[in-house]
Structure 1
Amino acid sequence: MHTMEHTPSPARRRPIAGLVALAALAAVAFAAWLAERPPAPLAEDAPEAGFSATRAWPHLEKIAGGGPTPVGSPGGDRIRDYLVGRLAALGLEPEVQTGVGARSFGSAIVSGLTENVVARIPGTASTGQVVLAAHYDSTTTTPGTSDDKASVAAILEIVRALRAGGEQPRNDLVILLSDGEEPGLLGAESFAAHHPLAKAGGVVINLEGPGNGAPSAVYNVTPGGTGLTGVFAASPYPVGESALIGIYRQTGFHSDLTTLEEHGFIGVDLGTAGGRAYYHHPRDTVANFDPAVLQMHGANGLALTRAALAADLPRLREPSDAAFFSAFGAVVRIPGALILPLAVLGALVVLAFAVLARVRRAASLPGMGLAVLTAAAPAGLAYAAGDRLWPLLGLLRPGYARMVYGEPYRPDLYRLALIALALALVWGWFVLLRRRFGPVALSVGALAWLAVAGVGLAGAMPGMFYYGALPALAGGLAGIAALFLNGRRPLLGRGSAHLALAVQTAAAAVGVVLLTTGARTFAAFGLALAATVMVLLVLAAFAALPVLAAATPAAAATAATPDTAATPATPTAPTTPATAGASEGPGAARSLQGRLRAAAGPVGAAVLAVALVAAGLVYDQFDGQRPEAAHLAYVLDGESGQAHWVTSDERLHPWAAGLTPEVSGSWTLPLPYGMSPAHTGKAVAAGLPAPEVSVLSRRQEGAETVTRVRVRSLRDAYQLNLHADRPARAGAIRVDGRPGVPLPQPEEEPGEGEWPFEAQFFAPPGAGVEFELRTSGAPTLLATDMTIGLDGLDGYRPRPATVDLTSSTGGLPTDAVVVVGRIRTP
C-alpha cells in the first residue's frame, strides 16, 4: 500500500483547514449566545442578600395569576393593595399617589387617573436618589406577566434583599410601582410632574418586559448618562449594547423612563428581550414565563440598583455618550472621544491592506474597485429578503399576518434560516467572482463596506459604530499579516499558511461575535424587521470572508494560476474567454467538477435556508396553546342608532369575516388615534347609553374660543375620548375637583381628517372629566366611551378555542365596545 496515495494534496488540505476554521467561528458565535442564556433559578434558601426567583415567584403568581388588569380596573386595585401590604411588611412606609397624568403621542392627547405605589429608603450619605421602577398595570388583552408584573415581583424581592441584614444604602432609594403605563406612561407622568420626591431628579433603574423570554438586557440608556454603563457592568449577567438605543428611540416604543427623562432624570431600561410574540398577548401568563428568566432579570436588577446606590450619582452624568457592548459576560465601553478616531483608523487600515495587496500584486486596482461595487449585491439582496420574509410567511400562513408584532410563537428555525441565507448570499458572491477578481480583492471589497459603515455610523449613530469599525480594523490587520505570511518567501515556510488562516480566523471572530450578537439583539423586534437583521448577518459574513475563502475548494484544477485563499499574496489571473471555454476532455471535466465543489458551500447554505423555513412552518403550528388571533370591535353611533362590527385585520380570520364582510370605505366616526377599520359589517344596535357631552361654558378671548366641556360615561367606561373638529392650542383637564392639568401640546400636527383633535382619558371617575379647550373658533364636539367585552351583543359568536384576542397595539383594542355621543348643551 502506498501511503502517498491517501495523503491529501495541498489543494485539498486547504479547504479542510478552512472548514475547521469555519467550524471554530460557528463555535465561538454559539458560545457567545450561550453566555447570554439565563442561569438556573436560585432556591428559597439562597443567601438572604441575593436574588432568588423562587422567593419572588409567589409574588408573581399573586399579581399575574388572573386576567388583564388595566388602569382603573378592580384587578388593578387588588394588586395595588397587595403591593402596599408587602412593602409595609418589609418595614417601609408606602403611599398611594393618586393623580392625573397627561401626555401627547403623535397628534393625540392621552391622560388618565392613576394610583402609583411609592416608598422610600433614606441613604446614609446620600449624593442623590435612585428610583427603582416598574409598572403594575397591563393592557386590556393580557395578564401582563412579563409586561410588567415579573418586574414588579422582582422589585419586591430586590427590596427584601436590600433590607436583609439591616443593609443601609449610601444613596436614597425610591421605589416607584407605577400605574397607567400602558395607555401612555400616565402614572410616571403624574409622579414626575406632581410628587415631591420627583423634584430632586435622580437615577432610574427601570425594569420592563418587551417580551417574555431571555435575555434580560439593557436596551436604553438616557443621553448624558453614559456613566451608567459602569453600573451596567456590575450586572452578574450583563447583556446589552448601545447600538440598540438609537433604534429603540426611533421605533415609537416608550417606557416610564421616557417621561422621567423629560423631567431631568437619567437612567437605564432593563428588559426581557425574547419572546416578542407574547408582548401584550393573552398568553403572557405565569405558565408561559420561565423562572430562569426571572432569575436573570431580578439578579441584574439587584446588581444595578446596588451599584447605583453606592455610586457618586452626579458623576454618572457625562456630557458625551459612549458606545458599549457586552460579550461573554463582560462589558466593553468605548469613550465617545474615541468613536470617530477608531472608525477612521479602521478605514485607514483597510486602505493600507488594499495598497499592500496592490504593491505585492495580490490584487489589482480595478479588481478591488469592482469588488467593492459588487459587494452591494449580497447586501441588497439580503435586505430585500429580510424585508419580504414576514409578508411571505403571512401568505403561506395567514394567521401570521394577524400577529401584530411580526413575530411567531417559535421563531428559532426562521432565524436560523436568515443566517443560512446571509451565508449563502455572501459565499455565492465570492464563488462567482473569485476567479475574476481574486480572493484578496474580494476580501478588500468586503472590508471596505465594513469600514464605510463604521465611519458613517460614527457620524450618524455613534452607538452603532463598532458594527463596522472594529471588524474592519481587525480584518484589515489580519489581511496585512496574511500578505506577509503568505508572500513569495513565506516567513515560516509551510506553516505560514496555517498561521495566516489562524490570524484571519481570530480577526473574523471579532466581527462575527459583534454582528451576530447585534443580529440577535435586533431580532427582539420580530421577524417583521428582519431586513436589519439580514444586513448585520451579511456584514458578519463579510468579516468571515477569508475563512469562507479558505473553506472553498479550487474551482478548476487546470487553471493557469492558483486560486486559493490560503495564498492571498499570489495574484489570480482573470478568467479569459480562452480559459473559460476549456476544451472538452479530462481537463474540462476536472474544471467542471472543481466548480461544482466550489459551489457546494453556498448552494448548500441556500438549500438549508429554504429547508429551515419549511421546517419552521411545520414546527410552529397554531394550536390550543399557541392560538391564532383575530381583532373585532363594536361601534354604535348613539345619535343615528347605526351600529357596525369593525376590525383592524387586513387578512380576516374566518371567525371574524362573517361579521365584517365589507372593505372599509369612507369611515367618519372617530376612533382612537384616528384609526380607520380595515373591514366593517352592519350590526344590530344595542341599547347602550351614549356618553354625555355637556358644554359648561363658552367665551371669547381675543381670537380664541375657550370652551369648557364635561364628558361622562353612563356605563362605567374604561376609556373616554373627546373629539373636536379643530385643533386645540391649549387648555386643561380637571377631575374630581383637582387642580387642572395643562393640556399637552401634540407631538405632531393633526391630520386632515374630520376630527383632528383627540383627547383620551383612562379610568374616568363616575362624575366624568372636564376639558377646557382653546381653539380658533367654536368647535364641534363629540365623545366616545369604551368598554371591553363583546358578550351579550346580538349577533356575536364567542371565539373558537383556537382563536385568541389580538395583542394590544395602542389603537382600538380588540373586543372594545365604542359608543359615540353628541353635544348636550345646558
Structure 2
Amino acid sequence: MLITPSLPRTQVTAGIAATLLACTALAWAVLRPAALTAPSATPTAAGFSTMRALADVRFLAAMPRPIASAANAEARQYIVAQLRAMGLEPQVQTATAQKTWIDRYRNARVALGVVNNIVVQVPGTAPDHARRPALLLATSYDTAERSVGAAASAAPVAAMLETLRVLQAGAPRANDLLVLFADGENVGGLGARAFAGQHRLAKRAGVVIRFDGRGSAGAPVLIGSSGDNRAAIGGWAKAAPNPRGSSLMQAVYQFMPGTPDMGALDTLGSARLHFANLESSNGHALGSRDTPARLDPASVRAMGETMTALARHFGDAPPAAAIAGAAVYFNLPGFGVVHYPAQAGWILTRLTCLMFIIVCSIAVYRNDTGLGDIVNGALGFVFISVIGALAVFLIWSTFPSLHAGHDFRTHGAGAGDHWFLAGFAALGTAMFIVFQRGLRRAVGHAAAALGPLLLVAILLPLASWKLPGASYALAWPLAGTLLAYGALYSPFARRLRGYQRALILLAGAVPALLLVAPLVPQIFTVTSPDNMNLPMAALALLLGLTALLMTAQRRFVVRGLLAACAACIAVAATIAPYGSAPIPQPNRMAYLKDAYNWKSYWMLPAGPLDAWSKQFFPNAARPQVQVDAFGHNSPKMWLARAPHHALPYPDIRMLKDEVLPKGRTVEFTLQAKSEVPGIDVTLKGAGTLRTSINGRPLTLEKTNDLTVSLYGMGGQLLHFRFDLNSDELSRVFIHERIPGLPPNAAGARPAGMLPPTTPMTETTILSDTLLFR
C-alpha cells in the first residue's frame, strides 16, 4: 500500500510538524532573493567605481533621449567624449534602418529611421586576433519619448563605460573586443538592425553579450541565450560573480510585455547571452518612475562587475570554446549554476517517464488504484489548480480597494507586492489541501497522489520537444517524487515508522522545493499581482509534486494558512504601492497647428486637469475627439483653440492620384525639416497593396490601416507611393512631432508643482491631412 500506512495519524504528528518546518525553512532559503551589499565610495577589487558610474547616469538621465532628438545627440557626444578620454577611438555609425510589423488584423506599422550607433573596437594581443571571433558587448543609449531611462539605458551605458575604464587600466585581452552603444532601440530595435546588417565589424562577432535594464534594483539576470551557447553558459557560470538565470525563465521572459530582447543581434555570432536586472520594475507603458533617484547603486555595481568578469573571461577564451551546442541551465541553491546539453534532456525525460510507468504499474498491481482512478486524479488536480487561480483573480478584481493606485503596466512593481504573493500562495496552498483531501476520498489515496504526476509526465515530453530549456523543472522534481513513492513500495518500507516515511517523502520533495519553488517569485517579478495565472500554475506544480505531504496535514494547518493569507493581504492593503511621494508624470500637453483647417489647438489626453493645465482649457466642458487631425476613432482629449505661432506647416506636394480598375495609386512628397525629429504618416480607409518611400519598400503585401513612423529624416525630400486596393474614401494624416512647446507659447509649469513632471515631454505637432475621395 502506498499511502494508507505511510503516514498514520497516531504516530507521526511530530514527524509531520518537523516536515512542515523543514519544508518552510528550505523554501525560505530558496525563495529569498540574494541581497546586494551597498557599494562604497572606493572602487571594487576589480577596479569598478560605482560613484563614477552614477555620475554618468545622472548626466545621461537628465531628460529623455529619444532617437533623433537634441538630448539624444548630447548623450552621444558625452559617451564619445568619455571613450576618447580612455584612449579609445569610437566610431559613429550613421545608417538607415527599418522594421515592419503587421498585426492579426492586417494593420501595418513601419519604423524607419536614421540611427547613430557608437562602435568601439579594442584589438586583442593574440598573434591571430584579427582572425579570431571577437567578443561583442552591447547596450543602448536612447530612451522612450517620456522616460529619462535611468535604469533602462543610462545605467547599462554607465556600467559599460566604467567596465571599459577597468579593462583599459588592466592587462589587455587576447581577443578583439567590440562594444556597441545602439541608438533607436526603443522604436523597433533599429540600432541593432543597422549594426547587424550594415556594419563591417558585425560579422566578426563570436560571443555576443547584451545588457539592458528593466528594473531599478537587483543583480543582472540571464534572461535569454541562443545559438551554440553551451560553452557560453559554462563561461558565465564560471566567471560571473553572482550568476542568476534559468532556461525555463528565458521562455517566460519572451512572452512578457516590456521585456527587452536581443533584436537583430540575435543573428550574429555563434552564441548570444542577454542580461537585464528585473527587480523594482518601472512599468512598460510610460517609464516615468525610471529616475536616477530610484536607481539602486548596488544594481549598477553588480551589472558592472558582471560585465567586467565576462569581458575578461571571454576576452581570453580560445576560439573553439564558443561552439559546443545548446544548454539547459538553472540555479541550484548551494551549488551555483547547473548546465548540461539540451540533448541530454531527452534521456532524462525517457528515464523519468519510465519510472512513472513502473510506479503506476506497481500501484495497480497491488490493487492500490486503477488507471481510470489515476486519470480522474489528474483531472481533479487540474480542476483544483484552476479553482485556486480563479480565487486569486476574483479577490484581486472584486476588491480594488485592497490595491488602490496599483498599476503595474504604467508604474511597475508596488511596495507591497511581495505581501500579495505571500497571501495568495497561502490561499492557494490551503485550497489545495482541502480540495485534494476531497479528491483523495473520491478516487483513493494512490490515485490522488499519482494523478498530478500523470499530468507532469504528459507535460514533460511536450516541454522537451517544444521548450527543452523548461524540461528540467519537470524532470528532476518528478524523478525525485517517483523515487520517494517507489521507496515506499519497497519491502523495507513496511518496517519504517511514520516519521521515517515522512522523511522519505520530504527527501523526494527536495528537487521540487529547490527547482520549482523559486519559479513562483521569479515569474511573479515579471507578472505582478495583476496577472497571477503563471505564478499560481508554478505553485500548483509544486503542490502537485508534494501532494502526499500536503494532504497529510491537520486542519489547524489549513486554518493557519488562511489566517496567514488574510494577514498578508491586510498588510499589503495598508502599503501605498508607490510610496507617499507623488509619482513623476510626463507632461502630455501638446500644441497642434493643423493645415487642414488652418487652426491651432491646445491638446491634453482625457483626465483630471490640474491648476496649470486648466488655464489652457478654461471653457472646455468635456474631452472630445480631434477628428480633423487624428480621425474619428482617435482617443478623446481636452481641446481648446490656441494662438498661431510662426511654425511652418508640413511641406507636402501632391504628385499623383490615379484611379485604376482594381485600385488606386497615390504619390506625394514631404520635405522633412531639420528641426523635426519624428514624423508619423498614417493611412486610413482603403487598404494597401504595396507602399514605398524614396523607392524603398515599406510593405509588399496587402494591409489595412498603415502607420509609418520616421525618425531623423531632417533635410530629406521624402517621396511616398501608396498602391491602394480600392478607391474608397481615404485619408493620410501627416504629423511632424517636435519635443517641447513653441517658445513663449504658454507660461512655464511652476517649479515645485505636484506631481513633478519629466522634462521635455511636451509636444508640438505640425499637422496636415490628404483626403482622397
TM-score for both structures, normalised by structure 2 = 0.84
Alpha-carbon shift at residue 294 of structure 1 (Å): 1.8
Aligned-residue offset at 1:272: 0.4
Aligned residue among 84, 91, 95 for 1:88: 84
Amino acid at match of 1:200: R
Q: 1:324 aligns with which of 329, 346, 362?
A: 329
Amino acid at match of 2:29: A
Partner of 1:111: 112
The answer to whether the Cα contact below 8 Å between 2:216 and 2:279 also exists between their aligned partners in 1 is yes
Alpha carbons of 1:694 and 1:28: their partners in 2 closer, same or farther (altered >3 Å)?
same
**Cα distance in 1, alignment partners of residues 509 and 368 from structure 2:** 20
Aligned partner of 2:72 in structure 1 is 76
1:59 aligns with 2:16: no
Out of 288, 291, 294, which is 2:294 matched to? Answer: 288
The amino acid across from 2:707 in the alignment is E
Q: CA deviation at 1:476?
A: 1.0
Aligned to 1:218: 222
Q: Which residue of 1 aligns with 2:105?
A: none
Residue number in structure 1 paired with 2:3: none
Letter in 1 for 2:39: P
1:342 aligned residue: 348
Q: SS at the partner of 1:400?
A: coil
Does the residue aligned with 1:282 lie in a helix, a strand or coil? coil
User: Residue 734 of structure 2 aligns with which residue?
Assistant: 783
Question: CA–CA distance in 2 between the matches of 1:394 and 1:700?
Answer: 56
Residue deviations 1:664-683, cap 9 Å, x none? 77967549xx9842x43443
C-alpha distance in structure 1 between counterparts of 2:374 and 2:252, whole Å: 33
Corresponding residue of 1:6: none
Give distance in 1, aligned partners of 2:221 and 2:347. 28
Match of 1:523 in 2: 524
Aligned to 2:637: 680
2:210 aligned with 1:206: yes
Q: Which runs of 5+ in 1 are unaligned?
A: 1-8, 554-597, 734-739, 808-812
Aligned-partner residue type, residue 310 of structure 2? L
User: Residues 509-548 of structure 1 correspond to what in structure 2 (within 5 A)?
Assistant: 509-527=510-528, 528-548=530-550
Q: Which residue of 2 aligns with 1:138?
A: 143
Return the letter of the residue paired with 1:273.
L
The whole-number CA distance in structure 2 between the counterparts of 1:346 and 1:36 is 32
Match of 2:167 in 1: 162
Displacement, 1:379?
1.4
Contact 2:136 2:205 in 1 (8 A): no
Give the distance between the partners of 1:180 and 1:385, measured in 2 at CA: 43
**How far does residue 257 in structure 1 lie from its aligned partner after superposition?**
2.4
Change (3 A) 1:217 1:402: closer
Query: Over aligned residues, Cα RMSD in angstroms?
Result: 3.9
Deviations for 1:318-362, whole angstroms, at most 9, x for unmatched residues?
Answer: 5x6432212326222232222233234323323322222333444
Q: Distance in 1 between matches of 2:633 and 2:347?
A: 47
Secondary structure of the residue aligned to 1:625 is coil
CA distance in 2, matches of 1:30, 1:331: 19
Match of 2:214, SS state, is coil
Match of 2:690?
729
Equivalent position to 1:98, from 88, 91, 94: 94
Alignment of 1:376 onto 2:382: yes
Displacement after TM superposition at 1:128 (Å): 0.8
Aligned residue for 1:429, secondary structure, equals: helix
Once residues 247 and 541 of structure 2 are traced to their aligned partners in structure 1, the CA distance between those partners, rounded to angstroms, is: 18
d(CA) in 2 for partners of 1:275 and 1:393?
Answer: 24
> Quick one: which amino acid aligns to residue 232 of structure 1?
W
- Superposed displacement of residue 20, structure 1: 2.1
TM-superposed CA distance for 1:603, in Å, is 3.7
Match of 1:760 among 709, 725, 738: 709
Please list the CA deviations of residues 271-322 of structure 1 after superposition, one character each: whole Å capped at 9, or x if unmatched: 001112355522322221112212222222222223322334465345x643
Q: Aligned residue for 1:694?
A: 652
How many Å separate the matches in 2 of 1:52 and 1:524? Answer: 29
Residues of 2 paired with 1:204 and 1:693: CA distance? 43
Counterpart residue number, 2:30? 32
> 1:170 and 1:426 mapped to 2: Cα distance?
57
2:703 maps to 750
Q: 1:632 to 1:79 in 2, by over 3 A?
A: closer
Query: Could you say which residue in structure 2 is the equivalent of 1:411?
Result: 417
CA contact (8 A) 1:212 1:278 kept: no
Report 1:42-53 matches (<5 A).
Answer: 44-47=42-45, 49-53=46-50
Asked whether the equivalents of residues 324 and 463 of structure 1 are also in contact (C-alpha less than 8 Å), the reply is: yes
Encode CA deviations 1:425-480: one digit per residue, 9 max, x unaligned: 22222233344444433221222222222222222322222232222111111111
Equivalent residue for 2:461?
455
Preserved contact between residue 693 and residue 720 of structure 2 (Cα < 8 Å): yes
Distance 1:257 1:326 in 2: 22
Report the 3-state secondary structure (helix = DSSP H, G, I; strand = E; otherwise coil) of the residue aligned with 1:529. coil
Tell me, yes or no, if structure 1 residue 268 matches structure 2 residue 273.
Answer: yes
Q: Superposition pairs for residues 525-604 of structure 1, below 5 Å? A: 525-527=526-528, 528-550=530-552, 552-553=553-554, 598=555, 600-604=556-560
What's 2:564 paired with?
Answer: 608
1:394/1:28 CA distance change after superposition, 3 Å:
same
Displacement, 1:35? 6.0
Q: Distance in 2 between matches of 1:664 and 1:346?
A: 62
Partner in structure 2 of residue 576 of structure 1 = none
CA positional deviation for 1:152: 0.9
Q: CA deviation at 1:147?
A: 0.4
- Give yes or no for the alignment of 1:478 onto 2:484: yes
TM superposition shift of 1:237: 0.7
Displacement of 1:720: 0.9
Listed as ranges, the matches of 1:582-661 within 5 Å are: 598=555, 600-625=556-581, 627=583, 632=588, 634=590, 636=592, 637-640=594-597, 641=599, 643=601, 645=603, 647=605
Question: Judging changes above 3 Å, is the alpha-carbon distance between structure 1 residues 362 and 744 closer, same or farther for their aligned structure 2 residues?
Answer: same
Q: 1:773 aligns with which of 721, 724, 729?
A: 721
Go from structure 1 to structure 2 and tell me whether the alpha carbon gap of 1:202 and 1:717 turns closer, same or farther (over 3 Å shift).
same
1:391 to partner: Cα distance? 4.3
Question: Which deviates further from its counterpart, 103-112 or 770-779?
Answer: 770-779
User: Whole-Å Cα distance in 1 between the matches of residues 114 and 408 of structure 2?
Assistant: 32
Q: In structure 2, give the amino acid aligned to 1:184.
A: G
After TM superposition, give the deviation of residue 240 of structure 1 in Å. 0.8
Would you say 1:719 and 2:719 are equivalent positions? no
Amino acid in structure 2 at the alignment position of 1:543? L
Change (3 A) 1:743 1:515: farther
**Residue identity (%):** 22
AA aligned to 2:15 is A
CA contact (8 A) 1:695 1:823 kept: no
Q: 2:456 and 2:274 mapped to 1: Cα distance?
A: 29
Q: CA deviation at 1:133?
A: 1.0
Q: Give the stretch that moved more between structures: 331-340 or 203-212.
A: 331-340
Residue aligned with 1:760, SS = strand
Kept in 2: contact 1:454–1:465 (CA 8 A): yes
SS at match of 2:490: helix
1:176 Cα deviation from its structure 2 partner:
0.9
Mean CA deviation greater in 473-482 or 772-781? 772-781
Distance 1:207 1:355 in 2: 50
State how many pairs are aligned: 737
Shift of 1:814: 7.4
- What is residue 20 of structure 2 aligned with on the other side? 22
Cα 1:625–1:265, aligned 2, differ >3 Å: closer, same or farther?
farther
* Match status 1:148 vs 2:153: yes
Change (3 A) 1:142 1:675: farther
Q: Cα offset for 1:46?
A: 3.1
Q: CA deviation at 1:98?
A: 2.5
Contact 1:343 1:454 in 2 (8 A): yes
Q: Residue type of the partner of 1:290?
A: D
Contact 2:233 2:339 in 1 (8 A): yes
Give the Cα–Cα distance (whole angstroms) in 2 for the partners of residues 293 and 520 of structure 1. 19
Distance 1:169 1:701 in 2: 64
Distance (whole Å) between structure 2 residues aligned to residue 683 and residue 646 of structure 1: 9
